[in-house]
Each structure stands twice: as C-alpha cells, then as structure tokens.
Chain A
Amino acid sequence: MSASGTGPGPRPARRTVLGGAAAAAAGFALAGCGGSEYGEGEPKGRKKGEKITLTFWSWVPGIDQPVALWNSKNPDVRIELEQVSAVNGAQYAKMHAAVKAGNPPDLGQVEYPIVPSFLLDDGLLDLTKYGAAGVKSKFEGWQWQQSVFGDAVFAIPQASGPMGLFLRQDLFDRWEIETPATWDEYEAAAKAIRRKGAWIETFSATNGNRFAGLAWQAGARWFAVDGDTWTVSIDDEPTRRVADYWEALVRQKLIKTVPDRQSVWYKDIQTGAIPAWVGASWGDALLVGNAPKTAGKWRVAPLPQWKKGENASANWGGSTTAVFRGTQYPQDAMDFAVWLNTDPESVKLLIDGGYGWPSAVSGWTDADMENHKEFFGGQDYSKVFQEAGKAVDTSWQWGPATDTLYQRFGDAFTAVLTGGGSFRSVLAKVQRQTVDDLRNKGLKVAAG
C-alpha cells in the first residue's frame, strides 16, 4: 500500500523504498505451486521443554528490538523475524501467496483493514481456543472488535493511527497563517501558502488508506454486514463531500498531486515546499526520520473539522499481530502476540520505534509517547493524538477486500488526475467495481 498508506510503521527510509519494489517483484516468484490445504487435524503443539522456532513477518521499524528481548527471555520459543516490504501492499501479496501455497509464517503483521481479506482465504487462526477471552480486557475495546467476526477472534491488536495535522509552525508564523481548525480554514490556508510559492499538501491518487480516513471522519460508513450480505456504500453523502472538497483543491491547483511518502514528497517536507501533512500518530517518527533538519519547527494540530467546534477524527492504519492457520504451535504464537503488544518493556520499545498509538490500555504512560518532543518544539503533541483517538467513531467497519478497494481508488483517481472527470465519478466507479469485486469473490452484496 505504501503510497496508499501502510498503517503504523511503514516508513522506510527513502532509499529503501525502491528496493521494496524489488522485493515485490521477487515475491512474484512465490506464485505457481498451489494447493491451499493445510494438513487436516489439530496442530501438534509444543511438548514441555521442546525448543521451537516461530517465524514472524513484519515491517514495523524497530520491531527487531522487542523480538530480541523476547528471544533473550524465552530461549525455548525463538521468534525469527523476517522483515517484509510494505511498499504497495507487497507484504500482503507475499502473505496471500504463502497462505495459498500452504506455507504461511506463524505470525504476521496485518493491518485492521486487511484482516477480513485474510479471512476470505481462511488464512488466520481463531484464537478463542487459546485464551483470547482472557486477554481481551488488556486492549482498547473497539480495536479488539476490529478482528472479531462472529464469535471468533482472529488477531491481537497492536496499534492504531488516530489522525492529525502536522504543520511547519515556523513557516505558518512567517506567512501569518493561522492553524486551520476547519476544512474551510484549511482551504484558505492552502490559498495563502500557494501565494508564497509553496503547496500546503499533496493529494496522492494511490493513497486509498488516507482517503478512507477522511471519509471516515466525515461520517461515511462504507461497509456493513446484514445477515450474510455486505452492504457497500462508498458513494454516500459524507464521502461525496470529501471528494468534492479535495477535487476543488486540486482543480484550483492549491495542492500537489505527487505520491506521498515517496522521494519527491520527502524532499518537499525537508525543504518546506510542503509545510503541512494530514497524517496520523505514527507520522511523528516518519518526519523525524526523513526531515531531521527541520527539527523543532513542526507542531501537531487536530484534524480540521467540517463544522467549527466539532471534534471528529479517524484512523489511518492500525495494525494487529495475527496468527496464521497452519502454525504448529498456536498457543506459543498467541502468547508471543499478546506479550509483544502488552508487555511494558516491549511496548516501550515499539513506541520508540514509532509503531503508532498503543492498543494496550496499560503498561505505558503519556510520557512514553513524547519521545520526539524536541522535534515538535516541546509540544505535548501526543495529547493531540490521544484526543483524536477518543474522537474516532469506532463503529466503522472494514470490508472484505480492502487491498482491492485501495487499488480501485488508486486507478480511478489516477485516471481522473491525469485524464479528466470528476472525483464523484471516481466514487460511482469504485462503488460499482467494489460491488462486482465482492460478488466475484462469491459473497452476497447489496449496494447501499
């Protein structure tokens, strides 16, 4: 998803980004040999004293540290971390191929929006048998619910990504622009910034993840399940409002249309050619890592609102640690997943790496989240995200084929930005395609 947003964590340094595509190409080699049946019957489980190794695919920066900590504490259950590329959804391509080939890893990093698509594959293990109910209270309720389908629990929550507005306070001050509190003010700020020769932002065609977040904030509900029928409502009023708004910015040439979190964008945020970013809590580490020379000049503001005085936010990204079906040691895998995301030492290391906003309800303090305070001029910026996290409407539900959905958005926006047509036509098109996509996956669908 890279350009389209890869949850908390994926902020490869600029130079590794292209390399990721190479990995994607290499992943292609995984194709071919098929057969998705795992050996029937129960996984064998670990005998007392037996030494085992579990593989874990992840791309979160710095996740090697908690894994190393676990390995030093649990010599019997060694976790072998494999770093996978998160560019353009390459990590999920790899996981889907591995599931199809019958040799998935034991554990994997799977974002909330993608969990359902692995269920279609029958790729994830139901954790209820391994004591999921007992650890439920350790996590934020709504994030826990994101991986609950029916009575089954399919993943352990790791982090979320409440959204916020990053901005270069020094430039906003110099240009005498107020921090925008509403989207109207944001547009005014965009005009003022354009007059100074810079661009407030970029609208990346391929970033379906962020577009979903913006629609989420506006009150859209793209997917719902009624009985065994999916209702798809991508072309609804709130989403149209968001589409119209960003189209106006693009048509007035107030924002760029380059891909975000790619070389050009990284350069722009370093030089101040782009002084703001509608991002998410995990974006702090991304800015720190990629624009070190702008330290002290950034601030975080709440996401601009549709109506003054409102307080609505949304989630961009957010990850789980999932256990794949086919693991021979489900209990150990589950124990590691829970430890990774709740143990105070582990959570501290993950926060330092910049994995996002912890899903664990305890074991960390607000102060832990302030690890880039100097970069943000001493601002208690994590408070902003904490408030944003509370303002996320948690009834949002992801559909069963989010990777395809992002791709549809990417293609449709690409066509509109380079050819012509309205953003509303994008919504109509993606709505139509998504209904077809779900139907082609053998699911029951209704258009909302």
Chain B
Amino acid sequence: MRRPTRGEIRNARAASGFLLPFAALFLLCFVAPIAYALYTSLLKVERSGPLGLGGGAHEVFTGLDNYAQALQDPTFTAGFGRVLLFGLVQVPLMIVLATALALLLEAASARWVGFFRTAFFLPYGVPGVIASILWGFLYVPGISPFVEMAGSVGWDVDFLSRSSVLWAIANIVTWQYAGYNMLVLIAQLKSVPVELYEAARIDGANAWQVARHIKLPLIRPALVLTTVFSIIGTLQLFAEPLVLQPLTNSIDSGYTPNLNAYNEAFKSNNQNVAAAEAVLLALVACALSFGFLRVVGRRGKDGA
C-alpha cells in the first residue's frame, strides 16, 4: 500500500475541516432528533394512583405497543388514505400546471416573461399559514365573496363541506407551489443548449414538436425532482388543515397523519404514541419517494 503524501494528508485535513460544520449540524439537527423520536416511540408512561401524583409516573420500555396503538387508530389510518388520495390528484395536476407555465414562459414568443414569472412565483413567498388564512376567508360562507357570488346566481356552494374541503386545501397547495415548481423547471429549461432548438428548427419542427421532443425529455430530471418533493410535501400536510379546522366542522383532529401526531403529542400530551406516528409517517414518505424514483428510473432506462 502506498503511503499518502504530505499533500494528500493536508487535503484530507482540509476536507474534514470543511465537512465538520456540516457533519456537526447534521448530527445535531437531523440524526439526533430522529434517534430521539425512535427512542421515545418505544417507551410508555406508567402511573400509579388516580393522577400518578407523588412521583408515581415513570417511563418503561414497551416495544412496539405504540406502533400497534397508532395503527389501530382508525382516524390515523384514515388520514393516510386521505393524503394518498390528495397526492394522486393534486400532485399530477400541479406538476402539469407548472410544466405548462414553464413551457409557455420559455417559449420563443412569450411576452413580459419577467413579470409573469414573478407573479406566478409570488405565492411561494407567502408562508403556508398566511396563505391558509387568506384562502380561509375566501372559503368561509357568509364572508367569502366567491360564495356570495355563487349564491347570487343560485349556486349553493360550500367549499368547506366534508366532500369539498380536501380539494379546497388542494387549491391552496397548488396556488402556493405551482409557481415554485415552475421556476425549478424553468431553471432546467435554461440549461438546454440553444443548438438543439436551432437544429430542430432547421429540421422543420414547430413549437409544439420542440416542446414535446426536446424540452420535455430534457427537463425530465427536474420533473422527477419536483414530483418527489411534492409527494413528500403532500404526506406532510399540516398547516392548511390546522388553520382551516376552526372554520368548519368537517376537519377532524386526525385529518392528516401529521395533524394526528401533533394533536396526539400536544393535545393529548401523549408524546410516545406521537413519536411512533411520526416514525410511521417518515417510513411511508421514504417508501413512496424511493418507490417513485425506482419506477421512473426503470422507465428512464427502458426508454434510453
């Protein structure tokens, strides 16, 4: 084995010096909380006496009991079903919309590109809670101008009813993130070499054919990326249902898995079960994102 030269040693030292801040923060802010959540999810509190007074409360190891309890909670599992349905509908819709906007703004004939790009991106700058409050006022019957307008033409609409509130939330999320995803796609479009367009034009391709056969295949990585982010974001739905909850009788405490875990932790003050729910949520998010990546990865190779 060759001994490392002095230069190599110095390089390695410099590298570890640069890596240290990241590694420290990564361990502290990412690995440690996850480990703590895992640990907490395996414990439960035992108490003696009617209120566990007099130091009768202590934590004991309980194995996977908390996981069993979480999975047996129909509200929690229903929340999963709900976000999956949400993702199936909202994610493709938003990605298609973002792609369409990106292609339009990057088309050769587009006008006022800067203005529209900013306008579409702007909602992303609005924090999720604020966006939900804004839309909340636009949804609530009796205050919403939309409901009033619909009512004046005889259309009795309730955006916050049990059947429509999920799509009311989908609308908020789409409004917020379509512009952001559009920007990611535009960034990738910008990196497409101009020669390809020229070549296509010389070959007689029209704008539609350029988009279909050059732009779309080349922004595929960005499409995959935005879709994965959207899938994860969907599973983590939290602020929107939390903010809309007091406005309607159709969002329960476990409307999304995240909301369920939040209420379990802080309303019911049951951190152990909440930790188990958070771990389950993370597992599902991993499975879905990597599952999606595998599917598109395989298809990508087939196509190549």
Are A96 and B269 within 8 A (Cβ)? yes
Q: Which residues of A contact B57 (CB under 8 A)?
A: 120, 122, 442
The 4 A-B pairs of least Cβ separation, nearest first, read A93-B266, A418-B162, A442-B47, A404-B268
Docked-complex contact A407 and B142, CB < 8 angstroms: no
Q: Which of B233-269 contact A (CB under 8 A)?
A: 238-239, 242-243, 245-254, 262-263, 265-269
Q: Is B157 an interface residue (CB 8 A)?
A: no
Contacting B at CB under 8 A, from A1-53, are 2-3, 17-19, 21-22, 24-25, 27-28, 31-32, 34
1/0 per residue, CB under 8 A from A, across B117-139: the answer is 00000000000011011001100
Q: Which residues of B are found within 8 Å of A228, using beta-carbon distances?
A: 48-50
> In the complex, are the beta carbons of A24 and B242 less than 8 A apart?
yes
Q: Is the CB of B140 within 8 A of A264?
A: yes
A401 within 8 A of B: yes
Segment among A255-263, A301-309, A346-354, A371-379 that sits at the interface with chain B: A255-263
Is B289 positioned at the interface, with any CB of A under 8 Å from its CB?
no
Q: Are B247 and A262 in contact (CB under 8 A)?
A: yes
Q: Is A414 within 8 A of B36, CB to CB?
A: no
Check B44 against A442 for contact (C-beta < 8 Å). Answer: yes
The residues of A with any CB-CB pair to B shorter than 8 Å are 2-3, 17-19, 21-22, 24-25, 27-28, 31-32, 34, 87-89, 92-94, 96-97, 100, 116-117, 119-122, 149-150, 152, 204-206, 225, 227-230, 257-259, 262-264, 267-268, 400-401, 403-404, 407, 410-411, 413-415, 417-419, 437, 440-444
Q: A120-B52, A150-B53 are in contact. List 8 more A-B contacts (CB 8 A).
A: A21-B133, A88-B246, A92-B266, A97-B265, A149-B50, A259-B249, A404-B269, A414-B251
Q: Is B98 an interface residue (CB 8 A)?
A: no
CB distance from A256 to the nearest CB of B (A): 10
Contact with A along B32-70 (1 / 0, CB 8 A): 010010001000111111111101010000000000010
The answer to whether B270 has its CB under 8 Å from any CB of chain A is yes
User: Once the chains bind, are B269 and A403 in contact (CB under 8 Å)?
Assistant: yes
Nearest chain-A residue to B69 (Cβ)?
Answer: A440
Taking the closest CB of chain B, its distance from the CB of A184, in whole angstroms, is: 26
Taking a contact as CB atoms under 8 Å apart, the answer to whether A410 and B253 are in contact is yes
The residue on B at minimum CB distance from A445 is B50
Whether the Cβ atoms of A401 and B268 lie closer than 8 Å is: yes
CB nearest to B267 among chain A residues = A403
Chain B nearest Cβ from A445, distance in angstroms:
10
Chain B residues, Cβ within 8 Å of A87: 246
Q: Bound state CA distance, A27 and B262, in angstroms?
A: 10
- B135-149 vs A, CB cutoff 8 Å, 1 = contact: the mask equals 011001111000000
**Min CB–CB distance A290 → chain B (angstroms):** 14
Instruction: Assign chain B's interface to a size class.
Output: 35 or more
> Which chain B residue lies CB-closest to A270?
B142
B252 close to A443 (CB less than 8 A):
no
Which of B40, B49, B267 lies in contact with A89, CB distance below 8 A? B267
Residues from chain B with Cβ under 8 Å of A96 in the complex: 266, 269
Asked if B230 CB lies within 8 Å of chain A CBs, one says no
Q: B: which residues have CB within 8 A of A? A: 33, 36, 40, 44-53, 55, 57, 69, 75, 129-130, 132-133, 136-137, 140-143, 161-162, 238-239, 242-243, 245-254, 262-263, 265-271, 273
Across-interface contacts of A31 in B (CB, < 8 A): 265-266
A32 to chain B, nearest CB (A): 6
Contact of A418 among B51, B55, B161 (CB under 8 A): B161
Contact of A17 (CB < 8 Å), options: B53, B246, B254, B271? B246
- B133: nearest chain-A partner, CB-CB: A18
B268: chain A residues within 8 A (beta carbon): 401, 403-404, 407, 437
Q: How far is the CA of A99 from the CA of B133 in the complex (A)?
A: 29
Q: Are A441 and B263 in contact (CB under 8 A)?
A: no
**Cβ B263 vs Cβ A407 within 8 A:** yes
B253 contacts which of A22, A27, A263, A411 (Cβ < 8 Å)?
A411
CB-based contact B269/A117 at 8 Å: yes
Report 22 cross-chain contacts, Cβ distance below 8 Å, ordered by A residue: A17-B246, A21-B246, A92-B267, A100-B269, A119-B53, A122-B55, A149-B50, A152-B53, A225-B50, A229-B50, A230-B50, A258-B249, A259-B249, A264-B141, A268-B142, A414-B249, A414-B250, A418-B250, A437-B268, A440-B69, A440-B273, A444-B50
With A and B bound together, what is the CA distance between A219 and B293 in angstroms?
Answer: 60
Chain A, residue nearest B60 (CB): A442
Query: For A92, what are the chain B residues with a Cβ–Cβ distance below 8 Å?
Result: 266-267
Contact of A21 with B245 in the complex, beta carbons under 8 Å:
yes
With A and B bound together, what is the CA distance between A204 and B250 in angstroms? 11
Contact of B266 among A97, A225, A263, A441 (CB under 8 A): A97
User: Shortest Cβ distance from A89 into chain B, in angstroms?
Assistant: 6
Are A21 and B243 in contact (CB-based, < 8 A)?
A: yes
What residues of A have a CB within 8 angstroms of the CB of B55 in the complex?
A: 122
Tell me whether A442 and B45 are in contact in the complex, defined as CB-CB below 8 angstroms, given that A18-B133, A119-B53 are known contacts: yes
Q: Select which of B44, B130, B246, B265 is within 8 A of A262 by beta carbon.
A: B246
Most buried by A among B53, B132, B262, B267: B267
Contact assessment for A414 and B252 in the assembled complex, using a CB-CB cutoff below 8 Å: yes
A205–B247 Cα distance when bound, in Å, is 12
Closest Cβ of chain B: how far from A95's Cβ, in Å? 9
CA distance A89 to B253 in the complex (A): 12
CA separation between A121 and B55, bound complex, in Å? 10
Asked if A204 meets B51 with Cβ closer than 8 Å, knowing A22-B243, A31-B265, A263-B143, the reply is no
Give the most central of A92, A120, A267: most B CB within 10 Å.
A120
Contacts of A419 in B (CB 8 A): 162
Complex contacts, A441 vs chain B, CB 8 Å: 45, 47, 270
CA distance A434 to B51 in the complex (A): 15
Given contacts A225-B50, A268-B142, contact A22 B130 (CB under 8 A): yes
Q: Which residue of A lies closest to B266 (CB)?
A: A93
Q: Distance in Å from the Cβ of B162 to the closest Cβ of chain A?
A: 4
Q: Tell me if B242 and A122 are in contact (CB < 8 A).
A: no
For A150, the chain B residues whose CB sits under 8 A away are: 53
Nearest CB of A to B249, in Å: 4
Assembled-state Cα–Cα distance A410/B245 (Å): 11
The complex places the Cα of A17 from the Cα of B137 at a distance, in Å, of: 12
A122 to B238, CA, bound (A): 29
* Chain A, Cβ-Cβ closest to B54: A150
In the bound complex, CA of A225 to CA of B265 (Å): 26
**CB-nearest residue of chain B to A444:** B50
Indicate whether A3 sits within 8 Å of B246 (C-beta atoms), given known contacts A31-B265, A442-B57.
yes
